[in-house]
Amino acid sequence: GDALAVSARVAPLGSRLVLLLVEDLTEARRIEAVRRDFVANVSHELKTPVGALSLLSEAVLDASDDPEAVERFAGRMQNEATRLTNLVQELIDLSRVQNDDPLEDSESVQVDELVTEAIERSRQSADNKQITLLAGGTEGLHVWGNRGQLAAALGNLVENAVNYSPARTRVKVAGRLTQSPGGDLIEIAVTDQGIGISDRDKERIFERFYRVDPARSRATGGTGLGLSIVKHVAASHGGEVTVWSAEGQGSTFTLRLPEAGSAREQAALDKADR
Ligand code: ADP
């Protein structure tokens, strides 16, 4: 249907571009399916923490003469609130990924800015677990792409690093410029000292709704959508996301994205070619 209509329209531009566009439409359908499944699950996923919060606040009121009980209930309220925040954040990410076409809305985006936003987003959960958030090497680097989508992708990686790490560990975000045959790339690596991922699971974690440990992931407000969003964003920007991990030691997720100046030059060359 629409895929064919599009390929007829752009056929003069060459078959490679047509292929890319058709792939993009298939991807758009996949994201649409993710959204539908998510909306189907979301009322339940939202009801659980809201229900818990309402019960816990009643419990706090009843226990007002028992400071220890109040503290315990307040701690659980904090967990439920974090869970709600994460769920809402994932909804926002999904709508960002769905509505904007990265190819149309691309601009030069400061990596510093993306990293700061990603870290701010996980600040509260990191503080709760006394996890230290560090950043380095990002100064002066620019990537080419859709700001909102890139922020969603990096935000997810940092959030996961915090969620799947024990207390009093470190999460580090490091940027660097690298060369590739297709032009300069920016690498943004998120490293944690967390639980790690087995080789078997590494192949599956980027699938939507896949979670290594559903119970643990649920406790942090995870839905199994985060990494599928990251993968989609990386691919639609002409980049990639890869993972290195050792069980019990930690993980590094690396986003590779086109460098802004290099991408602009490439776009100008492509234009001159036509
Ligand atoms: P979730 O919402 O469950 O976090 P994701 O798609 O973001 O979903 O991640 C999928 C699964 O991959 C998670 O449930 C978790 O099991 C695993 N995972 C993701 N990031 C990490 C990490 N930094 N360390 C260990 N496991 C991770």
pLDDT digits (tens, 9 = 90+) for 100-133: 666 677 899 999 999 999 999 999 889 999 999 9
Position 240 pLDDT exceeds 80: yes
ipTM value > 0.85? yes
The set of protein residues with a Cβ atom below 6 angstroms from ligand 1 is: 156, 160-161, 164, 192, 194-197, 205, 210-213, 217, 222-228, 251
Q: Which tops the pLDDT comparison, 57 or 215?
A: 57
Position 178 pLDDT exceeds 50: yes
CA of 146 to the centre of ligand 1 (A): 24
Position 38 pLDDT exceeds 70: no
Position 221 pLDDT exceeds 70: no
| Amino acid 1: pLDDT | 40
User: What average pLDDT does the segment 174-183 reach?
Assistant: 93
| Average of per-residue pLDDT values in the chain | 85
Q: How many CB atoms lie within 10 A of CB 207?
A: 12
| Amino acid 217: pLDDT | 63
- Any alpha helices (H) in 137-243, and if so which ranges? 147-163, 199-202, 214-219, 226-236
Q: Which atom of ligand 1 is nearest to the CA of 214?
A: 14
Q: Which atom of ligand 1 is nearest to the CA of 212?
A: 16
Q: How far is CA 59 from CA 39, 66, 78, 133, 248, in A?
A: 31, 11, 14, 34, 37
Burial class (CB in 10 A: 0-12, 13-18, 19+), 229: buried
List the residue whose alpha carbon is closest to atom 20 of ligand 1: 160
Q: Could you tell which of 87, 133, 217, 223 is best to mutate to test the pocket of ligand 1, judged by most ligand atoms within 8 Å of the CB? A: 217
Q: How confident is the model at residue 68 (pLDDT cuts 50, 70, 90)?
A: very high
| Amino acid 10: pLDDT | 44
CA of 196 to the centre of ligand 1 (A): 10
pTM of the model: 0.76
Q: Rounded to whole angstroms, how far apart are CA atoms 132 and 65? A: 35
Percent of all residues in the chain with a pLDDT value above 90, rounded to a whole number: 52
Q: How confident is the model at residue 259 (pLDDT cuts 50, 70, 90)?
A: very high
